[in-house]
Amino acid sequence: MPPRRNEKYKLPVPLPEGKVLDDMEGKQWVLGKMIGSGGFGLIYLAFPTNKPGKDARHVIKVEYQENGPLFSELKFYQRAAKKDCIKKWIELKQLDYLGIPLFYGSGLTEFKGRSYRFLVMERLGIDLQKISDQSGTFKKSTVLQLGTRMLDVLEYIHEHEYVHGDIKAANLLLGYNNPDRVYLADYGLSYRYCPNGNHKQYQENPRKGHNGTMEFTSLDAHRGVALSRRSDLEILGYCLLRWLCGKLPWERHLKDPVAVQTAKTNLLDELPVSVLKWAPSGSSCCEIAQYLACARNLAYNEKPNYQMLKTILNPSGMPLGPLEFSTKGKSVDVHTPNNQKVDLQKAATKQVNRMQNRLIEKEVPGERSVESCATRRKVQKEEKLIGLLNNEAAQVNKKWIAGRNWSTGRSLDTPALDSSMLPQMESTRRRQKYCKSQEFLNEVKSSPQISSYIQFPKSFYELHHDFTSPDTFNKSRCPSWYTSTSTTAMEVTDLESSTGLWRAISQFTLSEETKADVYYYGFTIVFLLVVVFLALYFL
């Protein structure tokens, strides 16, 4: 039987060095010196009695038997992470390794009248949190490679009915003998989201809200929903952003879970702009923005496309090399300096001038450029279509709110919604946002001018300040010109904002296609008027 969960676990009294422990399979292990402690237990070096040596290759994790995390980790390894299963998975997926620590045994022991549970694990090296504390941020190539490696691990544990639930730098450790490898450790908070193939149902529980590491936990965890595969992917996305940028938008509000939840919701709802503008100077977060958009788009019980996610983080498909953690300096300032804003504005102005010159060169006296006219019509049609869709959605939402009984939370003229429909409705809304964000990200990646950073107009910087402050959240919404997701539309909008350019364009004559439309509709109207006139005359 699993131990009862206490609100707060107690660290055990340390065991004496040299104590011999017998595991469930009859193997004996000698405790070495204690090398670490966590919120739940202690970690010792360990030596098998039949192979004593000076360099320990194993560690033993110890906690009181009534504590829960070590029991959860033990069940994870027994059900999902046996050495034979990991070996077969590596061969099946053609991996060089899988970043899950090896499990060697477990058991119970007594000391001073207390019962202890212990796990024998593979020894690992330094964790990434210590490296991050020293270097501040990681190289972008290192961040993307870490993400790819973690996706390999998550795919394995997800296929074996578990989610990790607590991905962070402190739980990512380098190999002891091979520091080029990275391992996801500490499965004390792992959760069996799909026991015997039956996925847990989506159900919010405010009493269980805001569980996990506040800085990285998922929105589902904030709502008190049982973790699922999309939770792990979302947590990993926050980690990637933190490792690359050195900060997260909600770090100032970690003591206020509701503010953190609001900040995360805004970040995901405003993708990709919210992530692109958070990138450090001289770098880009396009891959992370696209990754988070995919994670946000997942339904609660939907299986992720791991290969697609790995392709996003490693678009070239190059073999993964050694991890490099050296950086040029400490934590990078994620806010754009004032002088850089001026440089970006000058660059944008030059780009507009070049485009204006190209348009003037294409101009033929007495005729309007067909290309520029078609582009403008396309933009106008897109904006009109988006406006119609938004109006229609607003009307439906208004009618639904008007007929809602807020005392019961139910519509007056419709039956109560099945709770199973909520994830699908949420997923549909996310998919619409995802399509727009994907189109924009593709344009960003294909544009050489914005491959390293995004050149937004001055109005963008005026609207988007430090959105770690709640007062500026509403001000950090996407500007209206950003609703169009094509590069052409952005160029036309920028052209419209340039001085005198739109007046010059407005003086052009209509294109041949527009003239044909005018002639056709004009002839039709004249014909109808003649028919009406004749009918009235003879009657």
**Across residues 162-172, what is the average pLDDT?**
96
Residue with the bigger pLDDT between 506 and 187: it is 187
pLDDT at residue 433, as a whole number: 59
Are 299 and 246 part of one and the same domain? yes
**Residues in contact with 317: Cβ distance below 8 Å, sequence separation at least 6, in sequence order:** 311
- For residue 161, tell me if it sits in a domain: yes
Residue 166 annotated to the active site: yes
- For residue 384, tell me if it sits in a domain: yes
**Across residues 167-185, what is the average pLDDT?**
95
Percent of the chain's residues with pLDDT above 70: 63
Q: How confident is the prediction for the chain on average, in pLDDT?
A: 75
Enclosing domain of residue 520:
513-539
pLDDT band at 186 (very low <50, low <70, confident <90, very high): very high
Is the confidence at residue 254, as pLDDT, over 50?
Answer: yes
Are 443 and 297 part of one and the same domain? no
Among 13-17, 18-22, 389-393, the range scoring the smallest mean pLDDT is: 389-393
pLDDT at residue 351, as a whole number: 45
Q: Which of 76, 97, 122 is the last residue of a domain?
A: 122
Are 172 and 303 part of one and the same domain? yes
**Across residues 174-186, what is the average pLDDT?**
94
pLDDT band at 371 (very low <50, low <70, confident <90, very high): very low
Are 363 and 479 part of one and the same domain? yes
- For residue 325, tell me if it sits in a domain: no
pLDDT at residue 426, as a whole number: 60
- For residue 231, tell me if it sits in a domain: yes
- For residue 324, tell me if it sits in a domain: no
pLDDT at residue 71, as a whole number: 93
Q: Which of 63, 96, 122 is the last residue of a domain?
A: 122
Per-residue pLDDT tens digits for 58-95: 999 999 998 888 999 999 999 999 999 999 999 999 99
Are 491 and 524 part of one and the same domain? no
DSSP 481-531: GGG--SHHHHHHHHHHHSTTHHHHHHTSPPPHHHHHHHHHHHHHHHHHHHH
pLDDT at residue 357, as a whole number: 52
pLDDT band at 219 (very low <50, low <70, confident <90, very high): very high
- For residue 278, tell me if it sits in a domain: yes
Per-residue pLDDT tens digits for 468-516: 344 443 433 333 333 333 333 344 344 344 444 444 444 444 555 566 7
User: The domain spanning residue 189 has which CATH number?
Assistant: 1.10.510.10
- For residue 320, tell me if it sits in a domain: no
Q: Which of 100, 122, 144 is the last residue of a domain?
A: 122
pLDDT band at 290 (very low <50, low <70, confident <90, very high): very high
Are 499 and 537 part of one and the same domain? no
- For residue 1, tell me if it sits in a domain: no
pLDDT band at 518 (very low <50, low <70, confident <90, very high): confident
pLDDT at residue 511, as a whole number: 54
pLDDT at residue 429, as a whole number: 60
User: Any long-range contacts for 74-83 (C-beta under 8 Å, 24+ apart)?
Assistant: 74/106, 74/117, 74/119, 75/2, 75/192, 76/157, 76/162, 76/187, 76/190, 77/103, 77/119, 77/187, 79/160, 79/161, 79/162, 79/192, 80/157, 80/160, 80/161, 80/162, 81/157, 81/160, 81/187
pLDDT at residue 363, as a whole number: 42
pLDDT at residue 477, as a whole number: 37
**Across residues 354-383, what is the average pLDDT?**
46
User: For the whole model, what pTM was predicted?
Assistant: 0.64
Residue with the bigger pLDDT between 106 and 389: it is 106
Are 492 and 536 part of one and the same domain? no
Are 276 and 347 part of one and the same domain? no
Q: Choosing from 23, 127, 152, 166, which is the catalytic residue?
A: 166
Is the confidence at residue 388, as pLDDT, over 60?
Answer: no
Is the confidence at residue 375, as pLDDT, over 90?
Answer: no
User: The domain spanning residue 74 has which CATH number?
Assistant: 3.30.200.20
Are 268 and 395 part of one and the same domain? no
Are 503 and 519 part of one and the same domain? no
Q: Going edge to edge, which strands form the sheet with 114-122?
A: 20-22, 28-37, 42-48, 58-64, 114-122, 103-111
**Across residues 165-172, what is the average pLDDT?**
96
pLDDT at residue 305, as a whole number: 97
Query: CB burial class (10 A; 0-12, 13-18, 19+) of residue 95?
Result: middle
**Across residues 247-259, what is the average pLDDT?**
94
Per-residue pLDDT tens digits for 94-151: 999 999 999 999 999 999 999 999 999 999 999 999 999 988 889 999 999 999 999 9
Per-residue pLDDT tens digits for 194-216: 999 999 999 999 999 998 899 99
pLDDT band at 37 (very low <50, low <70, confident <90, very high): confident
**Residues in contact with 468: Cβ distance below 8 Å, sequence separation at least 6, in sequence order:** 249, 250, 251, 252, 253, 263
pLDDT at residue 128, as a whole number: 96
Is the confidence at residue 415, as pLDDT, over 90?
Answer: no
Percent of the chain's residues with pLDDT above 90: 50
pLDDT at residue 9, as a whole number: 67
pLDDT band at 423 (very low <50, low <70, confident <90, very high): low
Among 5-14, 202-211, 263-272, 475-484, the range scoring the smallest mean pLDDT is: 475-484
What's the rounded Cα separation, in Å, for the pair 204 and 202?
7
DSSP strand pairing (172-175 vs 182-184): antiparallel
Residue with the bigger pLDDT between 300 and 400: it is 300
Are 172 and 289 part of one and the same domain? yes
Are 117 and 149 part of one and the same domain? no
Is the confidence at residue 463, as pLDDT, over 90?
Answer: no
Helical segments of 217-256, H only: 219-222, 229-245
How many structural domains is the chain composed of?
A: 4
